[in-house]
Amino acid sequence: MSATEPRTELDVAVEVNGEPRRARVEARRSLAELLRDDLELTGTHLGCEHGVCGSCTVLLDGVPVRSCLMLAVQAEGRSVVTVEGLADGDRLHPVQQGCLERHSFQCGFCTPGILLTAAALLDAQPEPDEAAVREAISGNICRCTGYESIVDGILRAAEIAREAADGHAGEGA
Amino acid sequence: MVARLVGSSVARVEDPRILTGRGHYLDDVRLPGMLHAAFVRSPFPHAAVLGIDVTEALQVPGVRAVITIDDLDRVAGPLVPAGPPDLLVAPFPALARDRVRLVGDPVAVVLADSRAEAEDGVEAVEVDYDPLPGVGDMDDVLAGGTELVFPELGDNVLHRSTHRYGDTDAAFATAHRVVSARLDQHRHANVPMECRGIVAAFDPAAGTLEVQAAHQSPHALRMHLADVLGIPAHAVRVRCGDIGGSFGQKFGLSHEEVAIAGASVLVGRPVKWIEDRSENLMVGGQAREERVDVEAAVDPEGRILGLRVRMVMDQGAYPKVGYPATGYLSIVRALLPAAYRIDDIDFESVIVASNKATYVPYRGPWEIETWARERLLDLVARELGIDPVDVRERNLLTSADFPRASATGVELLGFDPRRTFDDTVDLLDLDAFRARQAAARAEGRLVGIGLANVVEPAPVTPSLIRAMGIMAAPRTVQEARARLELDGSVTVFTSQMPHGQSHETTLAQLTADQLGVGIDRVRVVHGDTRDTPFNLVGTGGSRAATLASGAVVGVARRVRDRVLEVASQLMEIDPADLDLVDGSVVARGAPGVSTPLAEIGRLAWVRPGLANADGRPGIEETATFDSAEGTWSVATHACEVEIDPETGLVRVDRYVVVGDCGAVINPAVVDGQVRGGVVQGIGAVLLERSAYDREAQFLSSTFMDHLLPTALDVPRIEVHHVHHEPTDEINFRGVGEGGAIGAPAALTSAIEDALAHLGVRVTEQFLPPVRILELIDAATGA
Amino acid sequence: MKPAPFAYVAPDSVEGVVGALVEAGDDAKVLAGGQSLLPLMALRLGRPSVLVDVGRVDGLDRVEVVGDDLVVGATVTHARLGRDPEVARVAPLLAEVAPFVAHAAVRNRGTLGGSLAHNDPAAEWPAVALLLDVVVTVQGPTGAREIAAADLFESYLTTTIEPDEVLTAVRVPGLGPRGGAAFDEVSRRAGDFALVGAGARVTLDDDGAVASAAVSFLGVGSTAVLDATVGADLAGRPPDEAAIDEVARAAAARLDPHDDLHATAAYRRRLAATLARRTLTTAVARASAEVAS
């Protein structure tokens, strides 16, 4: 990566879900392809490959980005969180738990991008209202649900996170 | 037995894997030696193919093979669409032989070590095209003289028929007035978030073809592939994992499925093709391009006395193998009266060919029957100066009319359309809305309200099938198989192929309740043709709730009966005195006397002769269930909109659905189906269009051109349920399609209502902001 | 939907970037956020042979206040512009426009500099740059030079930045006393490229009459459009509703917009008039607030 000559194949080192990972990739490989094909983290989905649908959204240094609109080599030295990295062992992340409780999803294809977008939202804004949730996920297309159940799941996640922060168990009813 | 799970929003069995990124979608499949495919596709709507040169493509790094029709001919026959005698259809090759018929028509397949390299190879294939005039407009076809899409058929008009019900001429003779309209619905598409795809692995040594696919009907795909490739059916297996939505698109047999399976046979290696978004928007399948010309004879109160209807659909270039185009029109014809008292109807059907993408079923493929009828009712109301709500009320059937055979021969029973309608009108508080509307208009604001009544066959009923004139045996019967495992857990095999419908949850709820076990003791297996019962449809047609549920309840009861018989032998108690509770067989009235299901399962498998007199081990049963009359899922949709007079942007402020889908297995699942469908219908009106120009050049191959609703474009959808008396013990009715059927009608009704005082009449379904302003200008002479 | 092959290099200095551009020749492209370039490449509508990534260059991610001006480094993202308090204080219009750009995940990667160098006629920043008389600094093999926004945008996806030059900074002048600016757009959906957008800038004199004004438009042709005639038409007049409405209509009438899949030229002209009126009204209100304070 420190090469000063343009190369068509490069080594890339990225922290993914807390673990250092390395791969040798074509320059044209997207971050999404690095995750899916080289690192076998297939939870990240490609829904359009031109940056509109949001299915491929991951966290880059804590903020959501489109992994189809980023080259793998651009992630050199950065930290990436994918849907596989949201849960803490067997304990679901609040957005996963909230979406489970509210039947948020149907086919599951847009799900990874929405979960990570929601996780970043709650990080930045722990008590969002419905309008803030809708705005936050407006770059993520879901074709199944009509969004209402997803909005409810994220609002429930905020409650779960608050309950956990207040020292209550976050398992919910 | 007290139902414990059915009726409650049990957490989805699918969710733990889907929420943690551990689902298994088609693009996640990786096989040793697998090659990646990309298609060379026509940039022209219509052209002769004079030559294909693959020499340079074979030199591209990573490219392993380029397959054209000359190669494919060695292993695959043509795709052969079926249809009734009065529908013109022709067989066609999976890759272009001498002609391309639409933008995106596959010409060759490039196989490479990666998809990116396959795409490099695609760019290097030289195809010599001689462009022909493209056919992109149904009026051009009807006028005659368009370039023939299939010269061997001799016509671009593929079907004409007329059906007459009652005495329409007499009805028109007594009419107070005749209201007529040309109602245009635009081509749009299913657009699942996961595109189509297939991984085909032919094993030359074994002669077997293992296929994994994103597909609604694995058994149909297996049948078609075995047939086209000439491989014995015993050597073909199709499996489907998690599927990222479909809405009717991943259905039947496609060019690509044949080409990829054939490519695998040719190279003897696994081949993967994952459709990209541009391909999906271009050729994945499109729908809804239909026109209804209607004349209605009405009395002074707005009652419909008779209808003359002519429906034209543009089916595109290639018919869908597995769904004859006449099917789209015959169901519209049969359902047109729906919940209204319309007794005299003439219905002409016309199907034309064009250089556009293949027509596929899209969530409620007959949707135009609701849209056109509800549009007509509004137009009648405007013409006569009557409130549209009153016109509907005057024409709706009442409970006294039931049971009833519709004019088209459909048996209507098991619902009361006035219940959902009246409840909706109450919820809307119409008088208050009209007051708000008047105040808004005084301020120059445009607000409107709209309604629509939907009668969804969920699933199709025997009389509807007869009314459609399908001569073949009804394909509604479903089978389920269930096995009590060695440890007392239960495996249920369904012919459903869920792709978002939560059948792993709902069918497990039904099974668990019948057997008195927890949902975690039941596994629902689907999607492997080696394991699952045969069914040509898989999941589609809102069939699961009734048919799959009926089969599963039936088979669970058989397992239960067998369990009690075995327990009776073991416990020496009459089966009638035994019950299944919390995973054990217990003696009624003596809860201390019990045998765990695990023990029964184990002994049934291991002790010879215990479970079956003929020595077969274990308890494994099958059951079937077929449709009956009365499985109607009805709803009234209503919505309120506000339109910005300066920009033409429409905001949906409120959306209400009051529905009756019988008993509900899982309310969250049901409401999710309704809401998702409604939002697709809202998108159809405001955003979504598969756009072609008049010469059939395709214009919307990215998500910048083909727009889908986002979370900011739709309101909360209020869903309310009413329940009619059950007609059958299995009283679960489908809800997969009604949402998408009702929304275009209710939304266009509301838009017209907002603009009606300006003189605007809405006769088209696609209403982007530019069109809204054009309608206002045209009506006001601005 | 995969890009054609290319070579990639990520120099750690501006000089290194220029050197790589010189060496690679006309086929090279600078990669900043990549949010416009990479989709074009995925669709194979763009196929540079070399991408020179400016993301590793130290110091390009700075936002600085220099006198009355705001200087924004080439790799500063839209998201940063939307939340940086210095931006909100010195160039509030930038903070106001940022949320109009696509969606949050794109704003977290895409940059102001990249958007100006890309010059999509439906993008927000070229229109804003014209409105605010922004000046960009570019560095090439013979050194740095400045290009005023008025001289920057040539035509569809084309600027006057040479292939061996890289944009390093964007200087945004302050509005000055009694100045106000506003922006608005209409899109099919929130986050889409706008059908039409407009920005307006107004400076009032001590009497509350218009001293200077301009509007700019996006989505109305092959590149963003600045209309200075509005300023001449309004100069010396009190900016009342009638005057604003008149000049807004006149400005829209001077445009030559295009038909496309989403809208007609007539519709675009009409939106342009509406948006010019709305933004001029807001800009006047903001300038008046300045006068009052």
pLDDT, residue C293, reads 62
All structural domains of chain C: 7-53 (3.30.43.10), 63-172 (3.30.465.10), 179-288 (3.30.390.50)
Please give the torsion angle defined by the CA atoms of residues B694, B747, B758 and C265, in that order, rounded to the nearest 10 degrees. Answer: -40
Encoding tokens for residue B577? 């005195």
The interaxial angle of helices B738-755 and B769-780, nearest 10 deg, is: 40
Structure tokens at B563: 């369990």
Residue A173: what pLDDT? 42
The answer to whether residues C236 and C209 touch, using CB atoms and an 8 Å cutoff, is yes
Residues A125, A129, A135, A137: what is their CA dihedral angle, to the nearest 10 degrees?
A: 80
Q: Is A38 on the interface with B (CB under 8 A)?
A: no
Pair B339, B96: CB distance under 8 Å: no
B506 CA: distance to closest CA in chain C (Å)? 35
Could you tell me if A5 lies within 8 Å of chain C, comparing CB atoms?
A: yes
SS3 B483: strand
Closest to B739 in 3D by CA, of A142, A149, A144? A144
Q: Residue B698 has what DSSP assignment?
A: B
Q: Confirm or reject contact between B119 and chain C (CB < 8 A).
A: yes
Quote the minimal CA–CA distance from A100 to chain C in Å. Answer: 24
Cross-chain residue pair C267–B769, CB shorter than 8 Å: yes
What is residue B702's three-state secondary structure?
coil
Among C53, C234, C217, which Cα is nearest to C129's? Answer: C217
pLDDT in tens, B368-417: 999 999 999 999 999 999 999 999 999 999 999 999 999 999 999 999 99
Edge-to-edge strand list for the sheet holding B106-112: B63-67, B106-112, B35-41, B271-274, B197-203, B208-213, B236-239
* B-contacting residues in A 76-105 (Cβ below 8 Å): 82-84, 86-87, 92, 96, 99-103, 105
Query: Is the CB of A4 less than 8 angstroms away from the CB of C109?
Result: no
First-to-final CA distance of chain C: 55
Of B19, B21, B675, which is closest to A145 when you measure between CB atoms? B675
pTM over 0.95: yes
Subunit partners of chain C (3 or more CB pairs within 8 A): A, B
Q: What is the pLDDT of residues B417-429, one digit of tens each?
A: 999 999 999 999 9
- CA separation for the pair B690, C261 (Å, rounded): 11
- The residue type found at B405 is A
Q: Is the dihedral of CA B375, B380, B383, B384 positive or negative?
A: negative
pLDDT of residue B473: 47
Find tokens 């910005």 and name the residue: B644
**Position A171 confidence tier, pLDDT thresholds 50, 70, 90:** very low
Domain boundaries along the sequence of chain A: 9-85, 94-165
H helices of A9-76, where? Answer: 31-33
Contact B454, B658 (CB under 8 A): no
Residues B369, B309 contacting (CB under 8 angstroms): no
- Which regions of chain B are under pLDDT 50? 1-2, 473
| C-chain residue closest to B276, CA distance | C1
Q: Does A63 touch chain C (CB under 8 A)?
A: yes
User: Strand (E) positions, B422-477?
Assistant: 446-457
- Domains of chain B and CATH, by start: 15-21+475-625 (3.30.365.10), 31-132+192-246+250-283 (3.90.1170.50), 290-466+629-780 (3.30.365.10)
* Interface residue A136 vs chain C (CB under 8 A): yes
Q: Is B599 helix (H, G, I), strand (E, B) or coil?
A: helix
Q: Are B219 and B297 in contact (CB under 8 A)?
A: no
Q: Does B711 touch chain A (CB under 8 A)?
A: yes
pLDDT per residue as tens digits for the range C60-104: 999 999 999 999 999 999 999 999 999 999 999 999 999 999 999
Distance from CA of C264 to the nearest CA of A (A): 24
pLDDT for the residue numbered B335 = 96
Rg (CA), chain A: 17
Angle (deg, nearest 10), helices A111-124 and A148-165: 40
pLDDT of B725: 78
SS3 assignment, position B80 = coil
Is the CB of A24 inside 8 Å of chain C's CB atoms? no
Q: Do A51 and C39 touch (CB under 8 A)?
A: yes
Asked if B123 has any chain A CB less than 8 Å from its own CB, the reply is no
pLDDT at C290: 75
**Which CATH architecture group holds A9-85?**
Roll (3.10)
User: What value does the CA radius of gyration of chain B take, rounded to a whole number of Å?
Assistant: 28
First to last CA, chain B: 69
Which residues is B292 bridged to in the sheet? B183, B311
- Do B249 and B189 meet the contact criterion of CB atoms below 8 Å apart? yes
Q: Could you read off the pLDDT of B14-40 as tens digits, one per residue?
A: 999 999 999 999 999 999 999 999 999
| Strands in A45-111 per DSSP E | 57-60, 63-66, 79-81
- Are B768 and B646 spatial neighbours (Cβ–Cβ below 8 Å)? no
Q: Residue B164's beta-bridge partner residues?
A: B346
| CA dist., res. B456 & res. B417, Å (int) | 12
SS (H, E, C) chain C: CCCCCCEEECCCCHHHHHHHHHHHHHHEEEECCCCCHHHHHHCCCCCCCEEEECCCCCCCCCEEEECCEEEEECCCEHHHHHHCHHHHHHCHHHHHHHHHCCCHHHHCCCEHHHHHHHCCCCCHHHHHHHHCCCEEEEEECCEEEEEEHHHHEEECCEECCCCCCEEEEEEECCCCCCEEEEEEEECCCCCCCCCEEEEEEEEECCCCCEEEEEEEEECCCCCCEEECHHHHHHCCCCCCHHHHHHHHHHHHHHCCCCCCCCCCHHHHHHHHHHHHHHHHHHHHHHHHHHHHC
Q: Is the pLDDT at A51 greater than 90, yes or no? A: yes
Of the candidates B18, B27, B680, the beta carbon closest to that of A105 is on: B18
Q: For position B724, what pLDDT does the model report?
A: 79
End-to-end CA distance of chain A: give it in Å, rounded. Answer: 49
> What does the alpha-carbon distance between residue A8 and residue C24 come to, in Å, rounded to a whole number?
13
Q: Which fold has domain A94-165?
A: DNA polymerase; domain 1 (1.10.150)
Rounded Cα–Cα distance for residues B326 and A103 (Å): 38
pLDDT value for B222: 98
> Rounded to 5 degrees, what are φ and ψ at B108?
-155, 160
DSSP code for B359: B
- Three-state secondary structure of B245-314: CCCCCCCCECHHHHHHHHHHHHHCCCEEEECCHHHHHHHCCEECCEEEEEEEEECCCCCEEEEEEEEEEE
**CB-side exposure of B64: number of CA atoms within 13 Å?**
20
B264-277 per-residue burial string, b: 16 or more CB within 10 A, e: under 16: bbbbebbbbbbbbb
What ranges in A21-172 are assigned the alpha helix state H? 31-33, 94-101, 111-124, 130-136, 148-165
- Distance separating alpha carbons of residues B666 and B504, to the nearest angstrom: 12
How many residue pairs bridge chain A and chain B with CB atoms within 8 Å of each other?
164
Q: Considering only the beta carbons, identify the residue of B120, B649, B773 that sits closest to C5.
A: B120
pLDDT tens for chain C, residues 1 to 293 = 999 999 999 999 999 999 999 999 889 999 999 999 999 999 999 999 999 999 999 999 999 999 999 999 999 999 999 999 999 999 999 999 999 999 999 999 999 999 999 999 999 999 999 999 999 999 999 999 999 999 999 999 999 999 999 999 999 999 999 999 999 999 999 999 999 999 999 999 999 999 999 999 999 999 999 999 999 999 999 999 999 999 999 999 999 999 999 999 999 999 999 999 999 999 999 999 877 76
pLDDT of B560: 97
- How many Cβ atoms sit within 10 Å of the Cβ of residue B779? 15
List, in order, residues 6 or more apart from C198 with CB less than 8 Å away. Answer: C127, C183, C184, C185, C215, C216, C217, C218, C272, C275, C276, C278, C279
CB C20 within 8 A of CB C9: yes
Contacts of B192 (CB under 8 A, 6+ apart): A107, A109, A143, B243, B244, B245, B246, B247, B249, B250, B499
Task: Give the B window 752-781 contacts with C, CB below 8 Å.
Answer: 768-770, 773-774
Q: Which residue in B745, B765, B506 sits closest to B635, CA to CA? A: B745
Q: Can you tell me which residue has the tokens 């010469």?
A: B695
Angle at C251 between CA C248 and CA C256, to 5 degrees: 135
Q: Check CB contact under 8 Å for A51 and C38.
A: yes
Cα C158 to the chain's mean position, in Å?
Answer: 14
Those chains having 3 or more beta-carbon pairs within 8 angstroms of chain B are A, C
Percent of chain B past pLDDT 90, that is, above it, reads 94
- Three-state DSSP class for residue B36: strand
**φ, ψ for residue C237, nearest 5 deg:** -100, 150
Return d(Cα B208, Cα B203) in angstroms, integer: 5
Whole-Å CA distances, C52 to A159, B218, B467, C76, C144: 45, 47, 66, 17, 18
Judge contact between C50 and C117, C-beta under 8 A.
no
| The Cα angle at residue B485 between residues B479 and B491, in degrees rounded to 5 | 35
